[in-house]
Structure 1
Amino acid sequence: MGERIIDRLNDVARQGNIEDVYGLIQENVMLLEEIDKLPFVDTPLHVAASAGGPQHIRFAIEMMRLKPSFARKPDLNGYSPIHLALQGGHTQMVRRLLQVDGDLVRVKGKEGRTPLHDVAAAAATEQRLALMDKFLSDCPNSIEDVTIQNQTALHIALLENKKLDAFKRLVKWLRKNKSENAREILNRQDGEGNTVLHVAVSKNETEAVRELLNCGVNLNARNLEGHTAQDILQERSQVNNSEIRDMLCYAGVLSCSCLFLPYVNCYEYRLRKPIVLFYERSRILRNTVLFVERLRLLIETAREGSRISNDDRNALLVVAALLITITYQVVLSPPGGLWQDEERSSISPGPAQEPASEIAHYAGTAILDSTGLQVSFDKVAMINYFTFTLSAIMTFLLLPSGYISALFRMALVQLWVSYYYSWGVIIEETWSAWHNCLYVTGLCFGLVFLVFFGRLFCGGRIKSLNLHWILSFVYAYLMLKTVTRST
């Protein structure tokens, strides 16, 4: 194929003349096929996309209809037509190309950059931000694409864009539309092991750090140098950003040196952090924040120690919910049923006394609890209480972070309180019964503590042992002891 005819075709593309294209095709019907065989070439679509005028838009759409593969072919510089249209600022050209093929958002150019990466790096006007929204709307999975440096659009928006509008919009879109793997994308590390939080701290972007901390990112992720976001902040001694420092301390971000300490000391260190610096005005508010922070750190520590995947956690939540439902049903319909009336039993009076009576049972109490099977019923009650409490604690820990989950945790606590007092209604309230309930509650918390924290405290000393078997024997022994105490 002669270079002269290619030059003529590109001249036609610069003019946006569709009729002349067909004239050249009549001269050589294999013209477009021969161009398509070249791995790197400036196709007529590249030329039209670079021009970006109204006539060029019509030309580009016609060329995509004739040869769709041109839309993904790189030119001699490694760019596809949509990359060239973006670089030229031809927004309408980009939109029309996406109308023909929405997956063009994921076409990779030089250094593995997609159009989403390019617009995230340069989006400063509302028009460009709206274009980025269209990219995400047409191809939501494009947010997962990374460059050859393993950088996401979030990394690029922080590193290359002078404004935070694009970054904030990406984070907002992730939280709204990509909740199933938003955390994975937010915690993705680039070629140097830096997460978006590392980049935000290194760029001294206070607003970006605040956005990320509100998203529940991995606070103590380490890059390839072993540094956390706290370490990066400490290295930037020339930049005194007390607001970022206070936010990191409040969130519980640790330095690398603390991560290598025994976990007990590390946890205590985190609690000694000045997490109440923002709340100096009110002692009550400071104590409240400290309690919430301790609780949040405890849940985070449990998750990090257990290393449960999202799929496993979802399965465990389903099982826990089923156990809670089944065990609560026992309270509503205990074995043997509930008395529907109140009965009084007569007491033999003395010679000069009138006949007396006392209440044998109350309406709404368990039938078996007032018969000769009371001991067996107490055993069933304790086992059921143990199962419900343990399932409720596990559900509390396995729920994801966030404000919505906090509401569910509050509801879960209220459900446990309701369950606790429901047993007090249907069984005879004695000191022994309440003592056993408290004993079982402590037993449940102890087992959860062993499961989640035992490996952290014992380190490698129990790696060769089957922890599950050990806990099973401990559970059997303590449960047997509990049942014995209830007799």
Structure 2
Amino acid sequence: MAEKKLYDAATIGDVATLQQLLQGNQHLLDVVSFPCLKNVLHIAIKHGKESIVEEVLKINPELALELDSKNSSSLHLAAARGNAGIAKRLLVIAPEMCWWRDGQDMNPLHVAAVKGNEAVLEEMLRQDSLAAAARLHRGQTVLHLCAKHRQLGTLKVLVKELGHLVGARDDDGETLLHFAVMDYQLEILEYLKRSCKLEKLTTNSSGKTALDILNESVRDETTYPKMKRILENISNHSIFQNLPRYTEMTMVAAVLIATMAFQAAVSPPGGVWQEDGFDKETSRDYKAGFAVMATKHPKTYANFVHANLLSFISSTISILLLSTAGGSDQWIFVTIATYLEWLSMAAIAITYGASLVMTNPDMVEFGFSNVVYITTSIFVPVICVIFLFGSRRNGGKRLVKKVRPNCDTV
């Protein structure tokens, strides 16, 4: 009779009856066990009765540590129920419960993610986010679980804390992306695209990417084109996809070109005059420290200086922009720096050609205009190829649009 009253009190949240029963038998909470080895705390949590949970924990907090027949702890039950208040009270008593595994090898954070209970998940993540990174059956992550159970809400919560797991593979080599595609979950793909969390398509143990799986699936004419477009965009990301790495590589090239341009300015081809004098060949006066070529080939030397100056200035501006981009992730700076880098490369190539003309007797008649023509005929096609390669499978979009993705705050 007392057991039935205790069960009913826990079910409906009747604190007065609970207190009355305990006055008659102060050990009642210790001796009563309901089906599936559930205690009164389990029953109250299952029905979301926070007032009963609070009262029971005051009297006997050790009940929170007991497991039911499915090896579920009280925190597992709170995670499944979705009651953040109860979960918070339990975490105060035993925060280590975040790591406990139930009969399905899931800890409470996994359970909350599968059930879509965002508030409880956030509460437990504040207590111990590392527990959410624990692997499950066949090496699956909690993000795999979210995709498998179509829980976009809890996926967003977890990505904030565990963004590094977005590309994690299970024992079959499959990522979150593979799982989302297998279940035709367009919303998850769109979210991952907006949040810029996908860098490339990886293959599973069968050598298939998410795009391969999509193409082999039964096609939904409404969803399939949208998913394919997203996956193709991922697979065709330009060289700008990895901003930190790209910035570092471009910075090295910019510094190298700026150094070359500076060196050419202070040590011009042909050297400098060692003392003041008069050049009979050109009938021109010269002074010590002036470039010899400025006297011998003034027009070509002037063009050389202009090209060298253009190379130095464009490289130094590129360095400044890349330094800013590295600290603030501003893609527009990287885009401008890239164009300037291409310009500086072309200019330094023209500087090199002009140096050959001025220092090689056999090329004096070759002319500076031919140097510019050859350099342009090489650089323009190469740059065109870069643009075509970057946009050929993306509807002809300009490269600048690929380096300025519309990323939501994750």
Q: Same fold (TM over 0.5)?
A: yes
Which position in structure 1 is the counterpart of 2:384? Answer: none
Matching residue within 211, 216, 225 for 1:230: 211
Cα deviation, residue 92, structure 1: 3.0
Question: TM-score scaled to structure 2, two decimals?
Answer: 0.55
Give deviations 1:146-196, integer Å, cap 9, x for gaps: 3334333322222223x63333x23xx52x444xxx24x112334544321
What one-letter code is carried by the residue in structure 2 that aligns with 1:197? L
- Does 1:347 pair with 2:278? yes
Q: Alpha carbons of 1:244 and 1:427: their partners in 2 closer, same or farther (altered >3 Å)?
A: closer
Q: State the distance in 2 between where 1:18 and 1:360 align.
A: 105
Q: How does 1:328-343 map to 2 (within 5 A)?
A: none
Q: Counterpart amino acid of 1:361?
A: G
Structure 2 residue 101 is matched with structure 1 residue 115 = no
**1:130 corresponding residue in structure 2:** 119
- % identical equivalent positions: 17
Residue 216 in structure 1 maps to residue 198 in structure 2:
yes
Q: Which runs of 5+ in 2 are unaligned?
A: 268-272, 292-310, 359-367, 380-410
* TM-superposed deviation, 1:103: 4.9
The equivalent residue for 1:474 is: none
8 Å Cα contact 1:344-1:357 kept in structure 2: no
User: Which residue number corresponds to residue 361 of structure 1?
Assistant: 289
Q: 1:325 to 1:106 in 2, by over 3 A?
A: farther
Change (3 A) 1:347 1:191: closer
Secondary structure of the residue aligned to 2:197 is: coil
Q: Which whole-Å deviations, capped at 9, do the CAs of 1:346-385 have from their partners, x for residues lacking one?
A: 31789xxxx96225436xx9xxxxxxxxxxxxxxxxxxx9
Within 5 Å, give how 1:79-90 maps onto structure 2. 79-90=72-83
Corresponding residue of 1:266: none
Summarize the Cα distance change of 1:82–1:45 in structure 2 as closer, same or farther, 3 Å threshold. Answer: same
Partner residue in 2 for 1:288 = none
Task: Identify the range of structure 1 (140-149 vs 407-416) with the bigger mean alpha-carbon deviation.
Answer: 407-416
| CA separation of 1:415 and 1:195: change in aligned 2, threshold 3 A | same
CA gap of 1:122–1:13, structure 2 versus 1, over 3 A, is closer
Instruction: Give the corresponding residue for 2:38.
Output: 42
What residue number does 1:404 align with?
329
Letter in structure 2 aligned against 1:216? L
* CA distance in 2: counterparts of 1:250 and 1:77, whole angstroms: 45
SS in 2 for 1:347: strand
1:206 alignment partner in structure 2: 186
Q: Is 2:89 the partner of 1:61?
A: no
Match of 1:189 among 152, 160, 169: 169
Change in CA separation of 1:50 and 1:21 when aligned onto 2, cut-off 3 Å: farther
Cα offset for 1:71? 3.4
Task: Choose from 92, 95, 98 the match for 2:88.
Answer: 95
1:225/1:12 CA distance change after superposition, 3 Å: same
Cα-to-partner distance string for 1:404-452 (whole Å, 9 max, x where unaligned): 385574476478679879999x9997247999xx9xxx9xxxxxxxxxx
Q: How many residues of Structure 1 are paired with residues of Structure 2 in the alignment?
A: 323
**Cα distance in 1 for residues equivalent to 2:346 and 2:275:** 25
Q: Does 1:154 align with 2:137?
A: no
Q: Greater relative contact order: 1 or 2 (C-alpha under 8 angstroms, separation 6 or more)? A: 2
Runs of at least 5 residues in structure 1 that lack an aligned partner in the other structure: 253-292, 304-312, 366-384, 443-487
Q: Residue by residue, what CA displacement relative to the aligned partner does 1:37-73 show, whole Å, maximum 9, x if unpaired?
A: xxx9534433442343243122243257x42xx5354
SS in 1 for 2:67: coil
